[in-house]
Chain A
Amino acid sequence: MSELQPLWTPYGSLSPSSTAMHDRRTLAQRLHIDIPLLLGLLVLSGIGLAVLYSAGGQDMNLLTRQGIRLAVAFTAMFVLAQVSPRHLFFWTPWLYAIGIVLLVAVLAFGDVAQGAQRWIRIGPLNFQPSEMLKITVPMMVAYYLGGRALPPSFMRILVAGVLVVVPTLLIARQPDLGTALLIACSGAFVLFLGGISVRLITACAILASAGAPVMWYMMHDYQRQRVLTFLNPEQDPLGTGYHIIQSKIAIGSGGTYGKGWLNGTQSQLDFLPERSTDFVFAVFSEEFGLSGVLILIAAYLAVVFRGLFIASQAQDSYARLLAGSLVLTFFVYVFVNIGMVSGLLPVVGLPLPLLSYGGTSLVTVMAAFGILMSLHTHRRLISE
């Protein structure tokens, strides 16, 4: 464990800063809110509610529940934004360790839902530890690499690899391949941002493609089915392929300007499965067309670029690596979901952040943005 201790910490000790200066910060800074980021997230949430109203068959109850979830998620973001990076940094290894323990606990005695063990009950709360790991894994890798000199040596890359692979395998065992891959991605992003050499990245890419057959062997039947269906959806038009076929019809028939809000026949007539959750993008595309899609993608890109700007502006490597990794993972969510719904990628059960109906991943996404805001607004005074 001593190897994991940072050789250098950007925040000194946890004792409160003795610097007391005249407060020249704006209200947003004092509340630790990044206005452009917040605006982007609010716009996306607003679009999300509007699409959900249509996708859910104009069910006000559904909308209210999602509204409550959004409120909870935004609160989580706001609360996390108040936590100073010093504390985040200090608690990183502990949070990571707790996350691993919980993952083991889930495998040992978690609740089985739909054939997968993902949930653990703590008192009245149903808790999904894999969601927590989505944030603590990049935190831990950033803690490890950022606390040392960059770019990392080969040995450190290996150690970082272990830090990522252990939770990834534990989650893949649940089995939840989508989340496992996302977590592996978030760890890999830290390494990428930390400056590992291009040669190493190429080598890894080659290794990964060589490892594909091994993956195939390890997959569950339903996962294999999804890949097969992706390669040829028409072979099973009423089974697994139905999702993709109907989704493509929905998107394609939307045309340039869409069929109009609440008028998407594919979604309103029940042709499109899971239209409130994973396939909500198809509803959006059908009703708002390519023009709407361009605006939506632009909104996502605005959030992503603002996030990357925050990452590049951060004052130490830990903050930079963490912020960068969280934002890139967010983009992966968006890319994979839209890719899957439009038939570019196989169907993996990933929601579209801020648009899909559902609570757990929403809170995680907003918690990540809370951390981003914290990293951006708790600037040390010496640099001002």
Chain B
Amino acid sequence: MKPLHTIKDPAREARIVRGRVIAACFGILVLAGLLVLRMAQLQVMEYEHFSTLSENNRVKIVPLAPTRGLIYDRNGVELAQNTPTFTLEVVPENVEDMQALLAELGELVEISDEDGERFRKMLKKKRRFQSVPLRFRLNEEEVARFSVNRHRFPGADVHARLTRSYPLGASAVHLLGYVASMNEEDLQRVDAAEYRGTTHIGKTGVEQAYESLLHGKPGFQHVETNAQGRILRVLERSDPVPGNNLYLTVDSSLQAVAERALGLENGAVIAVDPATGGLLAFASTPVYDPNPFVDGIDSKSYRNLLASPERPLFNRALNGQYPPGSTVKPFMGLAGLEHEHVEADHEIFCPGWFRLPGRERRYRDWKKWGHGKVDVTRSIVESCDVYYYALAQQMGITEMHDYLALFGFGARTGIDLHGESAGLMPSEEWKRRAKGQVWFPGETLITGIGQGFTLATPLQLAMATATLSTRGVRLRPQVVLRRDDTATQSSVDLVPETMDTIAPNLETNWQVVINAMADVVHGPKGTARRIGKGATYRIAGKTGTAQVFGIAQDEEYDAEKIDKKLRDHALFVAFAPVDNPRIAVAVLVENGGSGSKTAAPIARRVMDHYFQEVLEEDDEQLILTAAEVPGLAAPQASRQ
């Protein structure tokens, strides 16, 4: 190694580096010169060429939004469609005097203050080259009037686009949901590439839950535009793939009957096919029209919807949580029988009240003078509370909780819609966790009659009833019967999904309970005997009346005297035909007073329609023969 490599010579080193820095400076100047020359070549020498390209020939890639899949009911009745609507849009760049333009346009088409305000807001967000919508949903007359005068407004134009609409209006709105303009949150959640060109997204209901299937895939168009950005020619096009068409399990006529039957009451009706878990009706009242939401509902109407004491936006079927009241009694009775706390013919005496040993407080029966001697069948038929106070005390809260949980109480049903509420099936552990308190024995008693902390959604009640009707098969509720992929010409049908199967201890226990439920409707003393009259099929049902507020120890409940808001909720659960169940129904009427008077007739109307109008001919034959069998036929294998 040469010595000059090992001995440090600071002065020499500084010289070396400086020399190289100077060399680098020359290199940099040369390269920078190269860049400048290149820029001069592009911007001066070839300016004409590029300027022409820029002015005239602009190839632009325009995304093509896919057509959203349509939604039908099970018979092909359109529930959600895409209708062409006309929008008046303005390109700010081409407008000299915006105020004057708006004033002149206002003479031709109606432009409300709301429209003007939204337009001004969007104007700030968009670029001057971009078209800003001024008025949505022009009618044909307005389109015609504008078209004649179009030459006067160089910056304005009418665009046709597909808008989502719901032909049945408010019917089934809580099931269908609606689409609306995408907001910031939506934009961040979705894959931007998939949503290029798309303006709307499903916000609630099926529209939200099946967004990915309904949406489709965007296509692209290579277009030539002029200097203003107007499309001159389409060069190349790859078509968008439309979204899947959905056929829902609901029958729109049955849905309409359910909604009509609820009438002006606030409530919910769920009808389900116990064999598949497919929902036949999904009603929550009051309803509202989803159509105004699509292009942005005006804030006043929205405020009114929000402020309405009837709470129309609230989905009672999915999110309404109510004490199930006496509708839990069949499940409780079954628990008592299956766990051998009682036998079918075991009787207790009901004096009209029940008292915990060594306590003063009386837990009252709804029948002031008592039912007398009561066995499990009578306890269901006449809805005796005392029987269940005694049974609950014997079972204890833990056993009750565990058995009712088998039917889905206190857990989400797993329906294919978003945001379902779970209800509540209380337990000692739950109370410790949620309230930080120990469980009191009195709470066990009232849980036994479906009061206290217990809460269930109408959907949960319907599914629990369906599970009872099939002797223990718990299915997942589903709302989509079939989805058609129009692009691949393929379709997928609903596959029933079993969540759980409850193994009966003794088959006859189930039959006892189901028979008792049949007597609720068809027996001479049944609480819902009024709806049994004239029925061409046998119904098994149970009424329920859920207390909204507590009554003091010695006070009496008088429906006439108290405020409607504080009146009891009316409930009714049922399935039919008893031995070959084709439909299970849960009805809830908020502050409806009594289950037998208010809720049960609604269920009857829904079932009547289902058996008389909806079911096909051959099915009807089968049902009638089953109903014609005198008495109660032996349990048939009805687990499908």
Please give the residue numbers on chain A whose beta carbons come within 8 Å of chain B beta carbons, in ascending order.
7-8, 57-58, 148-153, 155-156, 189, 192-195, 237-238, 248-256, 265-266, 268-271, 285, 289-290, 293-294, 297, 300-301, 304-305, 308, 311-312, 316-317, 320-321, 324, 328, 331, 335, 338-339, 342-344
Tell me whether B5 and A152 are in contact (CB under 8 A): yes
Please judge, given known A-B contacts A339-B35, A342-B42, whether A149 and B10 are in contact too, CB under 8 Å.
no
Q: How far is the CB of A165 from chain B (nearest CB, A)?
A: 22
Tell me whether B10 and A256 are in contact (CB under 8 A): no
Tell me whether B51 and A192 are in contact (CB under 8 A): no
Tell me whether B21 and A311 are in contact (CB under 8 A): yes
Contact of B20 among A149, A153, A195, A270 (CB under 8 A): A195
Tell me whether B50 and A328 are in contact (CB under 8 A): no
Contact of A192 among B10, B24, B38, B40 (CB under 8 A): B24
Q: How far is the CB of B297 from chain A (nearest CB, A)?
A: 27
B54 within 8 A of A: yes
Q: Which of A193, A266, A328 has the most CB of B within 10 A?
A: A193
Interface-facing stretch out of B26-34, B240-248, B497-505: B26-34
Tell me whether A238 and B236 are in contact (CB under 8 A): yes
Q: Nearest 5 pairs between A and B by C-beta?
A: A252-B50, A253-B54, A195-B16, A252-B42, A290-B43
Given contacts A149-B13, A150-B16, A317-B14, 5 further A-B contacts (CB under 8 A): A150-B17, A194-B20, A252-B49, A255-B47, A344-B35
Q: Which residues of chain A come closer than 8 Å to B5, judged between CB atoms?
A: 148-149, 151-153, 156
Contact of B17 among A149, A238, A317 (CB under 8 A): A317
Q: Which residues of chain B come closer than 8 Å to A294, judged between CB atoms?
A: 36
Tell me whether A238 and B59 are in contact (CB under 8 A): yes
Tell me whether B18 and A312 are in contact (CB under 8 A): yes
B355 within 8 A of A: no
B8 within 8 A of A: yes
B:589-627 near A, CB below 8 Å: none
B:226-267 near A, CB below 8 Å: 227, 229, 236
Q: Which of B18, B19, B225 has the most CB of A within 10 A?
A: B18
Mask for B32-68, Cβ within 8 A of A = 1, else 0?
Answer: 1011101110111011011101110011110000000
Contact of A149 among B7, B127, B225 (CB under 8 A): B7
Tell me whether B17 and A324 are in contact (CB under 8 A): yes
Contact of A320 among B14, B36, B46 (CB under 8 A): B14
Q: How far is the CB of A65 from chain B (nearest CB, A)?
A: 14
Tell me whether B54 and A266 are in contact (CB under 8 A): yes
Please judge, given known A-B contacts A249-B53, A342-B39, whether A335 and B31 are in contact too, CB under 8 Å.
yes
CB nearest neighbor in B for A286: B54
Tell me whether A255 and B43 are in contact (CB under 8 A): yes
Tell me whether A289 and B43 are in contact (CB under 8 A): yes
Q: How far is the CB of B433 from chain A (nearest CB, A)?
A: 31
C-alpha spacing A339/B17, complex, angstroms: 28
Q: How far is the CB of B53 from chain A (nearest CB, A)?
A: 5
Q: How far is the CB of B183 from chain A (nearest CB, A)?
A: 15
B301 within 8 A of A: no
9 residue pairs of the A-B complex, CB under 8 angstroms, read A194-B17, A249-B53, A251-B42, A252-B47, A289-B43, A316-B10, A317-B14, A320-B13, A342-B42
Tell me whether B58 and A149 are in contact (CB under 8 A): no
Q: Which residues of chain A come closer than 8 Å to B19, judged between CB atoms?
A: 195
Tell me whether B17 and A195 are in contact (CB under 8 A): yes
Q: Which residues of chain B come closer than 8 Å to A285, judged between CB atoms?
A: 39, 43
Tell me whether A8 and B44 are in contact (CB under 8 A): no
Tell me whether B54 and A250 are in contact (CB under 8 A): yes
B4 within 8 A of A: yes
Please judge, given known A-B contacts A251-B43, A269-B229, whether A153 and B1 are in contact too, CB under 8 Å.
yes
C-alpha spacing A151/B10, complex, angstroms: 11
Q: How far is the CB of B41 from chain A (nearest CB, A)?
A: 9
Q: How far is the CB of B239 from chain A (nearest CB, A)?
A: 17
CB nearest neighbor in B for A255: B47
C-alpha spacing A46/B129, complex, angstroms: 26
Tell me whether A305 and B227 are in contact (CB under 8 A): no
Mask for B353-370, Cβ within 8 A of A = 1, else 0?
Answer: 000000000000000000
Contact of A253 among B9, B34, B51 (CB under 8 A): B51
Tell me whether B229 and A254 are in contact (CB under 8 A): no
CB nearest neighbor in A for B18: A312
Q: How far is the CB of B17 from chain A (nearest CB, A)?
A: 4
Tell me whether A342 and B20 are in contact (CB under 8 A): no
Tell me whether A328 and B24 are in contact (CB under 8 A): yes
Q: How far is the CB of A91 from chain B (nearest CB, A)?
A: 22
Tell me whether B43 and A193 are in contact (CB under 8 A): no
Please judge, given known A-B contacts A301-B28, A316-B10, whether A269 and B42 are in contact too, CB under 8 Å.
no
Q: How far is the CB of B432 from chain A (nearest CB, A)?
A: 35
Q: Which residues of chain A come closer than 8 Å to B6, judged between CB atoms?
A: 7, 148-149
